[in-house]
Structure formats: structure tokens, C-alpha cells
């Protein structure tokens, strides 16, 4: 028996900032962003959008054509928590009308927690083959106006229905794992902007890749050549080039640049326009690969690497299933990204700064209406967040 992805869908904010606009604002060469870090645009959440609305939109899409009655678990992966106690997934459960006999809880470890959720879900499903698990990863990457991380912001969600009927990808159970206590990126409770030592985080990412890969090789005996494509966590798309170049050298694989680039490039297409989606990033990248690969990936083994600063890394693997193409939502994903409205710098800044205007004393507030898909964050009253289904 196998377990894996029966359905997968991504969602992102309906507004974006072109990084040329950001470059003009700060007097940078746009090529530093377009070429240097490999990012052209970043999705910007509207004031009435948060991880719940992003996640609910992705969930509603992923559930199309699925028997939701078999779902008994929702794992919500995020590092943009909206409450210290209540799981954001409970709002998603209500908004998308999931079955009442479910367990819902939240997972956190920087950008790693989506992959962490997968490692819990797979053995669970193999013990309960009639059930399904929903993993939703949603995040809004905020580093601060004018900060070094600003061009690597983004927002989005991915929802995956996992089951023992993996129509898209079946995961292998063995993986390589690594944990090391480092301060490369973190967000103290008193701030909603991440603190980051950018160059150090790139170094720690590569260290975690080396260690998790080595652990994977030791455990399985598999080698670099066993994989058709590689999918990396993408804080910015150039990170995949850095990571894969390292792995190619480390594994003594003799590949020309165009050969190793071919192994990673289709996975970076969506992220180049959405930006960092933190916990969802490696699965947004997987969706990008499956949707956009010109080759038939049937029966091909894919290697995936998730990295969460702080830090945890995991190298895990899956095999693409026969007929997977007919279960993808490629047209929907491409439309969501291409239909976004471009923001000028002032409106981006206004959207960004809105969060600081939310009351913290329990007084009521309604949020202005923007395009947020089927769901919106309608405001606050008595310290409670209000959500609405958009007609």
C-alpha cells in the first residue's frame, strides 16, 4: 500500500508588487532581483486577507472532486500564527465546511512545518487506509519596509489531500533528517516581522542540505542518479541554484550546467512571481514542477528538500503516479497568478502597514473590502477575528 497526494492546489494574494518598482524605490539595479535572487514579483496580501483566507481558498480548490467525508485530520502548517492558542485551521474547517469528526491542529518550525506534517500523515494513513488527511500550509513573509529581506517577501497557501489513493504522487517512507540550533531567522512574539541574518541563513540551508542528504544516503543506499528532478524550499528561486549546484558537486555528479538546471527550473516558475510562502514553499515548488514540466513525469522519482531556519532540514522523496496530469489544477493556478492586480509602491506600503492599525484593545473594526477570493478577514470585535464567505 502507498500513501501520498490525491489532490493539491495553491492559492496566492490577488495583488503583487513588481520588484522593478521596489528596485526603483531603493535605487537598486532591477537585475539584482530579477537575476541576482531570481525573483520578478511578490504577492502582497490585501488588508482583509490573512493565513486563514489564503488557506481556505487553497483548501476549497483542493477539495474539488474529493470525498471530503473521509477526512479526519487537518494539519495547519504556518509561521504566521494569528493566535497563540487557537489553531488557524479551525477557522478553515468552519469556512470550508469540513466534517465535524476531525482533529485540527497547528504545526510550527519556520519553513519546515509542512514537510513535518507530511512525515506524521504518511504512517497514520498506512494504519488507517480508509481515512484522508488534509495538510494546509499558509504564510505571509514579512521582513519590513526597506529591510534586506523585503525583496524576498511573498504570500500564499498550498492545500494537499493525502490518502492511500495517491493519484498524483506516492511518497517513500524513508527520508534524511537534520536538526541544529542556529539563529539565522526567527520572529519573537512581540513583532510581526521576521529577523534574519540572510547570508548566514543561506549557509545554514546548505549545511542542513548536506547533512539531511548524507543521512538519506546512509539510510537508503540511494544516490543522486536515482532522481529525475529535484524540488527545493525556495525563499527566493536562486536558492535552488545554490543548493543544487552544491549537491551536484557533493555527489560527484558530472552534469553540465544546462543539465542540472533542467533538474530544478520548472519547480521555480510559480515562486518567481509569488515570492516566499515559507511553510508551503517546497509544495508550491512541487506543484510548479508537476504543472509545468514539459516531460511526462510518470513513474519518475523526485527528490524534495525542506529547510526551516532555526534549523531543521529534511530530504524526502516521492514517485509521480500514472495519469497524474488529469488530477492537476494547472489552468486554475496559472489564472490565479496571472490575474493578480499590480500595485504601485504607495499602495503596497499602505497594504503592508495596515496590520499595525488593527486594534489591540478589543474595540470593533471592519476591514475595507478587496479581492481576496472566496473568503475574507472581515475585522475584529472583542479580540475575536471575524471571517466571511464572499458571495
Q: Is residue 76 a contact point for ligand COA (CB under 6 A)?
A: no
Interface with ligand COA, residue 114, by CB under 6 A: no
Does residue 199 interact with ligand COA by CB under 6 A?
A: yes
- Show the cell assigned to 234: 525556495
Annotation says 233 is catalytic = yes
Question: How far apart, in whole angstroms, are the C-alpha atoms of residue 98 and residue 11?
Answer: 19
SS3 category, 355: helix
Nearer to ligand COA, 205 or 377 (CB): 205
Bin 275: left if φ > 0, else alpha if -120 < ψ < 50, else beta. left
What is the nearest approach in angstroms of ligand COA to the Cβ of residue 198? Answer: 2
Task: Say how many Å lie between the first and final Cα of the chain, rounded.
Answer: 42
Query: How many other CB atoms are found less than 10 A from the CB of residue 317?
Result: 21
Rounded to the nearest angstrom, the gap between the alpha carbon of residue 132 and the centroid of all alpha carbons in its chain is 20
Q: Does 235 bind ligand COA (CB under 6 A)?
A: yes
Q: Are 175 and 314 in contact (CB under 8 A)?
A: yes
Q: Could you confirm whether 127 is annotated as catalytic? A: no
Interface stretch with ligand COA, choices 44-52, 145-153, 223-231, 287-295 (CB under 6 A) = 145-153
Member of 196, 264, 320, 328 binding ligand COA (CB under 6 A): 196
Choosing from 112, 178, 205, 273, the residue that interacts with ligand COA (CB under 6 A) is 205
Cα-trace Rg, the chain = 20
Locate the DSSP E strands across the chain.
4-11, 15-18, 41-43, 71-77, 103-107, 132-141, 154-163, 169-171, 176-179, 185-186, 195-196, 229-232, 301-308, 312-320, 341-342, 365-366, 375-381, 384-389
- One residue of 126, 148, 219, 389 binding ligand COA per CB under 6 A: 148
How many residues bind ligand COA (CB under 6 A)? The answer is 21
Exactly one of 79, 106, 150, 193 is catalytic; name it. 79
111 is catalytic: yes
- 117 binds ligand COA, rule: CB under 6 A: no
Restricting to residues 250-309, which ones interact with ligand COA according to CB under 6 A?
Answer: 307, 309
Interaction residues for ligand COA, span 2-61 (CB under 6 A) = 29, 31-32, 35-37
User: Which residue is catalytic, options 215, 233, 244, 333?
Assistant: 233
- Residue 202 in contact with ligand COA, rule: CB under 6 A: yes
Min. distance of Cβ 270 from ligand COA in angstroms?
A: 17
Dump the DSSP string for 16-84: EEEHHHHHHHHT--HHIIIIII---EEE---TT--HHHHHHHHHHHHTTTS-GGGEEEEEEE-SS-S-S
- Which residues contact ligand COA (rule: CB under 6 A)? 29, 31-32, 35-37, 148-149, 151-152, 196, 198-199, 201-202, 205, 235-236, 239, 307, 309
Active site residues: 79, 111, 233
Amino acid at each position: 500500500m502507498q500513501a501520498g497526494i490525491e489532490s493539491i492546489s495553491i492559492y496566492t494574494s490577488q495583488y503583487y508588487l513588481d520588484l522593478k518598482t521596489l528596485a526603483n524605490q531603493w535605487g537598486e539595479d532591477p537585475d539584482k532581483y530579477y537575476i541576482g535572487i531570481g525573483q520578478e514579483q511578490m504577492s502582497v496580501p490585501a488588508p482583509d486577507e490573512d493565513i486563514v483566507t489564503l488557506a481556505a481558498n487553497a483548501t476549497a480548490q483542493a477539495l474539488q472532486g474529493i470525498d471530503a467525508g473521509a477526512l479526519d485530520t487537518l494539519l495547519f502548517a504556518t509561521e504566521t500564527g494569528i493566535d497563540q492558542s487557537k489553531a488557524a485551521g479551525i477557522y478553515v474547517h468552519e469556512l470550508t465546511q469540513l466534517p465535524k469528526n476531525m482533529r485540527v491542529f497547528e504545526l510550527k518550525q519556520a519553513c519546515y512545518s509542512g514537510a513535518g506534517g507530511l512525515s506524521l500523515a504518511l504512517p497514520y494513513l498506512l494504519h488507517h487506509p480508509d481515512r484522508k488527511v488534509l495538510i494546509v500550509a499558509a504564510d505571509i513573509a514579512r521582513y519590513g519596509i526597506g529591510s534586506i529581506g523585503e525583496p524576498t517577501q511573498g504570500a500564499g497557501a498550498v492545500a494537499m489531500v493525502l490518502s492511500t489513493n495517491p493519484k498524483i504522487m506516492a511518497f517513500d517512507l524513508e527520508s534524511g533528517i537534520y536538526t541544529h540550533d542556529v539563529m539565522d531567522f526567527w520572529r519573537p512574539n512581540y513583532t510581526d516581522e521576521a529577523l534574519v541574518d540572510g547570508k548566514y541563513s543561506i549557509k545554514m540551508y546548505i549545511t542542513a542540505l548536506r547533512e539531511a542528504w548524507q543521512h538519506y544516503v546512509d539510510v537508503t543506499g540511494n544516490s543522486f542518479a536515482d532522481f529525475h528532478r529535484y524540488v527545493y524550499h525556495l525563499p527566493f528561486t536562486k536558492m535552488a541554484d545554490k543548493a543544487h549546484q552544491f549537491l551536484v558537486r557533493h555527489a560527484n555528479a558530472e552534469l553540465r550546467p544546462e543539465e542540472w538546471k533542467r533538474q530544478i527550473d520548472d519547480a521555480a516558475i510559480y515562486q518567481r512571481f509569488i515570492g516566499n510562502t515559507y511553510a508551503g514553499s517546497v509544495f508550491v515548488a512541487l506543484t510548479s514542477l508537476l504543472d509545468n514540466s514539459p516531460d511526462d513525469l510518470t513513474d519518475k522519482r523526485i527528490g524534495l528538500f525542506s529547510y526551516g531556519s532555526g534549523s531543521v532540514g529534511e530530504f524526502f522523496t516521492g514517485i509521480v503516479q500514472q495519469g497524474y496530469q488529469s488530477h492537476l489544477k494547472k489552468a486554475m493556478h496559472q489564472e490565479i497568478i496571472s490575474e493578480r492586480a499590480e500595485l504601485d509602491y504607495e499602495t503596497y506600503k499602505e497594504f503592508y502597514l495596515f496590520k499595525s492599525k488593527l486594534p489591540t484593545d478589543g474595540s470593533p473594526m471592519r476591514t475595507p473590502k478587496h479581492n481576496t477570493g472566496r473568503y475574507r478577514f472581515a475585522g475584529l470585535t472583542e479580540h475575536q477575528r471575524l471571517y466571511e464567505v464572499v458571495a
